[in-house]
Structure 1
């Protein structure tokens, strides 16, 4: 991976955001690839011998688009791009291992986009004989994924939709000055 636009944090890691329809691959140990998912899926692939890994973020399991940039929104294209980018960096398909994240049901009453995305990812990995070594999928919460691609380390945190806690502040009595009376009548 050439120098990515990354935010260097105080912890010394370069964080690279992966948006919907994007794929990023790295062999640099200080790079953390991050994304936030709802019903989308992020697949994290890793080749432990050449120490290269990558992540994609796809929106829908299946679909078609006229332009290649939009095609990465769909599972099959996103998976193939991820594999091909890793192969360019020396990875070998039969050594790849995978983790998948996301696929939540974000809105009840809509079709189960998350479930379809999960089913596609599992089927793709099985068909390609890429071992699925971990997953955090389904449910109703969004997720934040962090992937240290060069080391194959992934962390997933649930993002709840709970309102922020209410901060109780002490009530201070306010002195109210009585209005001056002028003899006039005031109606409210």
Structure 2
């Protein structure tokens, strides 16, 4: 679901959640999302002044999943929806420029989903001959992405790393409380 709310600079903010695609030519729209291991692709046509953003959770179904129905959480689906949506606005595919963001591996001991998502997105753009204008992928921290589609302008901010919770320090009693016999 997309939430639209005005921001102080007069732009309307569209939140692009997981599994969503937004496309706009409006000059007063800013698309925004927060990414961890997910990837967002921001595409724009500088001539037609049309742009869009998607936000995908996983790159594509694995071989064990076999033939699956269309799933809006996969990049393989959302990249096509974004491109086709832009083409329906009169954009020519060879004019599209792209930005990629996200793909972090937030937890060291978990599967590298972020890396797989980032690699998929780069490979997809190369296969489709879409120019990769800029990318900020990988790492271990989340990102917030703000995109003004009609201008192709993006601001990506890295969010602070996870805050360490202070653990209480256990203190030994100052006085001797008796003898302990070890067996």
TM-score, normalised on structure 1? 0.80
CA distance in 2, matches of 1:163, 1:5: 28
Aligned to 2:12: 14
Given the alignment of the two structures, is residue 28 of structure 1 paired with residue 26 of structure 2, yes or no? yes
Pairs within 5 Å for 1:1-188: 5-63=3-61, 68=70, 71-163=71-163
Higher mean C-alpha deviation, range 155-164 or range 13-22 = 155-164
SS in 2 for 1:132: strand
CA drift of 1:67 comes to 5.6
Aligned to 2:179: none
SS in 1 for 2:32: strand
CA distance in 2, matches of 1:88, 1:100: 22
Deviations 1:19-65 (A, max 9, x none): 00000000011100000000000000011111100000000011269
CA drift of 1:162 comes to 4.8
Q: Quick check: which has more Rg, 1 or 2?
A: 1
Structure 1, unaligned runs of 5 or more: 165-188
CA drift of 1:88 comes to 1.0
SS in 1 for 2:101: strand
CA distance in 1, matches of 2:42, 2:8: 25
CA drift of 1:11 comes to 1.5
SS in 2 for 1:126: helix
SS in 1 for 2:108: coil
Structure 2, unaligned runs of 5 or more: 165-183
CA distance in 1, matches of 2:117, 2:8: 35
CA drift of 1:163 comes to 3.7
CA root-mean-square deviation: 1.7
SS in 2 for 1:80: helix
Deviations 1:101-120 (A, max 9, x none): 00001111111000000110
CA distance in 1, matches of 2:80, 2:113: 20
Residue-pair matches, total: 159
CA distance in 2, matches of 1:37, 1:162: 14
